[in-house]
Amino acid sequence: MTNTIGIISALYARPFTREHFGAFARAKAAGCDFVELLVPEPGELDLEATRKALAGQGLGVALAARVNLQRDLASSDAACHEAGVRYLESCVQIAGRLGATIVGGPLYGAPLVFAGRAPAPVEESERQRRLDRIVDGLRRAGKVAADAGVKLAIEPLNRFETDIANTTGHGLQLVEAVGSPAVGLMLDTFHMNMEDYSITDSIRRAAPHLIHFQACENNRGYVGAGHIDWPDVARTLAAIGYRGAITLEPFRRNDERAGVPLAQWRPPDGSEDAQLAHSVAFLRATLDYAWRQQ
């Protein structure tokens, strides 16, 4: 077995604070190798206590960065752009203190629906300026990351969440423009299912730059519960020799009533330990079969 499998902290709670450390033992019991923590905001988590609590369970850690319009590499507001660079630098520092080597997410900024912004046309000159600002910011943060032995992983999001990088191709354009050894690509199957013509073709195309992976069912639920072809995804990850981490992000709550916002994060209705254990076992099985076929 070559890939480690982890779980996003938001499965349990958001914000995730010291009172939720009990989740680490549950993640371990469900078969996880690591936890992907949303990068804690200042004062949200004691980093040394968190590191110890993770180590106490033998769990590794990855980090998921959170951007908004006030810290946004794409912003035409110089202060927001600078705050975006400083935020990424702070993520690298936090990674170092927690022992994480990956900070992933939509690091380029420009959130849409979750910032209450509607998609709107972008003039070609402004499109290029936004990309230039992003590349500049990622190069600067990338230097800090390289010095710290941390990698920044750019995640394409679906068209409703950003208008910068939606497809794997968009993400690769950014990574190649940045050209930093500390800046790579991460892929999330929830977004790929919406935006890429073929999930497996995109994984193959991303191979030289792929440094992190999130496995999410088509409806953001538990891997194995929906219609993504997981054996095919696993065979492709093995075929390109991807030996990195794979994070589960089951955000879909078990509530099928009309009028309940599905895009809104909700706390779990009860323990989802059994469902998580099933998804970890399912994914581990498909990966094991896939690697044996290489």
DSSP 227: S
106 binds a second copy (CB under 8 A): no
47 binds a second copy (CB under 8 A): no
Nearer to a second copy, 159 or 204 (CB): 159
Nearer to a second copy, 32 or 223 (CB): 223
Site string for a second copy, 122-161 (x = CB under 8 A): x----xx-xx--------------------------xxxx
Greatest CA separation for the chain: 52
Active site residue 89: no
Residues 191-230 that bind a second copy (CB under 8 A): 193-199, 218-219, 221, 225-227
- Which of 36, 195, 217, 249 is an active site residue? 249
DSSP 111: B
- Count the helices and strands in the chain (H runs, E runs): 9, 8
Task: Decide: 74 and 109 in contact? Cβ < 8 Å.
Answer: yes
Residue 182: closest CA among 99, 92, 72:
92
Residue with tokens 């094991």: 288
Size of the residue set binding a second copy (CB under 8 A)? 52
Determine the 3-state secondary structure of 141 from DSSP. helix
Nearer to a second copy, 198 or 271 (CB): 198
HSE-CB of 222 using CA atoms within 13 angstroms: 16
Nearer to a second copy, 50 or 166 (CB): 166
272 binds a second copy (CB under 8 A): no
β-strand partners of 152: 103, 183
Nearer to a second copy, 90 or 173 (CB): 173
Residue with tokens 């070609």: 124
Which position among 78, 125, 264, 270 is part of the footprint of a second copy (CB under 8 A)?
Answer: 264
239 binds a second copy (CB under 8 A): no
CB of 156 to a second copy, least distance (A): 9
Active site residue 155: yes
Which position among 163, 188, 249, 272 is part of the footprint of a second copy (CB under 8 A)?
Answer: 163
CB of 120 to a second copy, least distance (A): 6
Q: Where are the beta strands (DSSP E) in the chain?
A: 5-8, 34-38, 60-64, 102-105, 151-154, 183-188, 210-215, 246-248
- Which of 36, 155, 161, 272 is an active site residue? 155
Residue with tokens 């690591």: 34
Task: Decide: 6 and 34 in contact? Cβ < 8 Å.
Answer: yes
Determine the 3-state secondary structure of 191 from DSSP. helix
Interface residue list for a second copy (CB under 8 A): 112-122, 127-128, 130-131, 158-161, 163-167, 169-171, 173-174, 193-199, 218-219, 221, 225-227, 256-264, 266
As annotated, the active-site residues are: 155, 249
